[in-house]
Every structure is written in structure tokens, then in C-alpha cells.
A = this chain, B = another copy of it.
């Protein structure tokens, strides 16, 4: 349950998404857990404004094939490339932070299929060189978001017998991220819990 700025409390049930609602509530509902990336970006803006940490999103790599300079360097042919690293990185208390955010509609496990071996390699390097590496994983069905240390995912990716990490194991090994209005995803508390506990 979260408080909206007007003070109303509003609890969202999965079923309520299908009902027709007044526009403001349906927007709130649509925002909730429906766009993990947007939520992370908003949270990052909040943390930066509050002078806490700096996380930036890497732009999507695009391979430019043709540029029309007669139109002021307008790109007329290009294609998306696969991200060979992760989506986010930055700095907190001098430490290097690197993470990938993934969302799943699956109710029982997080499928590893949409993590590339390049990303796994990248995260292994981050850990090797002393950085902090994790995944932010959203289970859309439960509207729950977890921070899970990358080493756990890497181990599962390379040595696991299953092609997915069971939900109950993520609950056990990961850290539930508290959701609210601002920051939308308080993943900093999870970082503190996981990596900065005295």
C-alpha cells in the first residue's frame, strides 16, 4: 500500500487492473510495477537530487548505417544492437555500482533466458575488480521487486541445473525493495543492507 501525494491510500489488487477506473487512479495503477525501468530512472533522479548517489543508464547501443548530412546529420538507416554490458552503473560512497534490471510475468521463477552471456561476463569482471554488482528483479504478478547479488545469479547461470531461479530462493537470498512514492523503489536501503552493513 502506498500513499499518494494527495494523502489518499490506495491498495492495488491484481484483479483491479482490469476494472475501469477514474483516469488518475488508472494512471497510478499503470505506473505501479508496470514499468520497472521508468521506476528506476525516477528513483535515480530522486537520489541524485537528494545528493545521495549517482546512477546513470547506459544508452541503448545503436549501429548507425546511414546518415543524411543534407538534413543536418539525420540518421536514415540504423539498427538496435544487443547491450553487451548492463543497463545501469554509477557511484555510491566511492564504490562502483553496476546492475541490470529485469522484469518477469512468471509467478514461480525468474527465467535466465533473457540474460546474455556477455552480461554475465561483464558482471563477473565488476565483482573481480571490487565493484558492487546485482540484479533488480521484478515479479509483475506479485508486484514485488528484489535486489539480488550478481554472484548468486552468475553461479546459477553457470552451475545451476535449472534455467531459472525459483521465486522462493530469490525471496530467501535477495532483499525486497520497499516501494513508495518517492523514491518509487527504495533500492538504496537494499544496497545498504547487502553491501554496507557494518
- Residues of chain A touching chain B, judged by Cβ–Cβ distance below 8 Å, are 48, 51-54, 56, 58-62, 64, 72-80, 85, 89-98, 122, 125-126, 128-131
Contact = CB atoms under 8 A, between A and B. Distances in A.
A118 to B, nearest CB: 11
Tallying the copies of this chain within the complex gives: 2
B78 A128 contact: no
A97 B96 contact: yes
Contacts of A74: 77-79
A51 B124 CA distance: 11
Given A54-B128, A74-B77, 12 more contacts: A51-B128, A52-B129, A56-B85, A59-B60, A62-B75, A74-B78, A75-B75, A76-B76, A93-B129, A94-B95, A94-B131, A95-B130
Contacts of A91: 96, 98, 126, 129-131
10 contacts: A51-B128, A54-B126, A56-B58, A58-B59, A62-B62, A75-B75, A91-B126, A93-B130, A94-B95, A96-B131
A131 B97 CA distance: 11
A62 B78 contact: yes
Contacts of A129: 52-54, 91-94
A64 to B, nearest CB: 7
A80 B75 contact: yes
Contacts of A122: 54, 56
Contact of A59 (B61, B96, B98): B61
Given A62-B64, A62-B78, A77-B74, A130 B94 contact: yes
Q: Which of A78, A91, A97 has the most CB of B within 10 A?
A: A91
Q: Which A-B residue pairs are the 8 nearest by beta carbons?
A: A94-B130, A91-B96, A91-B131, A59-B61, A75-B78, A96-B96, A59-B59, A54-B125
A95 to B, nearest CB: 6
